[in-house]
Amino acid sequence: ATARVAAAHETTHGWHELHLTGPQPLDNAGWPVFEEGLAVHTSRAVVPDRPEEEYFWYGLEGFDGWAAWCVENRAKLRHRLHHALSDPSKLGDMFGSGTVGGHHRTGYHLADALIAEMNRPLAELVRLAPEDAAAAIRNAVAGVDHDR
């Protein structure tokens, strides 16, 4: 099942590419957040009822408690993403090799949650114009009090 989760995630990127209605806004930090959130969220739909960490770590050991930490620190992660959307170089802490609170890949967990909060069908999300998809991410974090 672990391989199926990873395959669903990566296949979603291809499915998404086939449905793009415009060029990818590579200079818009909301775009990769949307892409990864959509891929995680779709893998949950395609391969349901797996352990939480499996949707992010694909069976790698040593990440017990990681998802719980992400949930407990979601407001902090939203705040960090809000600032990273203005400075894409900061996305690496959440999606690249950096860490937040000593935890890797926290942006994937938050991106998945943001897509879920949109409460829209996957077929509709995958067809959003890239600029609209990036804007949806920006809007999803805009209502948070970022001055704390």
DSSP string, 60-124: -SS-TTHHHHHHHTHHHHHHHHHHHTT-GGGGHHHHSS-EETTEE-HHHHHHHHHHHHH---HHH
Q: What is the pLDDT of residue 143?
A: 66
Q: What is the pLDDT of residue 145?
A: 46
The C-alpha R_g of the chain, in whole angstroms, comes to: 14
What pTM did the predictor assign?
Answer: 0.92
Q: Which residues contact 16 (CB under 8 A, 6 or more apart)?
A: 35, 38, 39, 126
- Mean pLDDT by runs of 10 across the 148 residues of the chain is 93 91 85 96 97 92 92 96 90 92 96 96 92 94 58
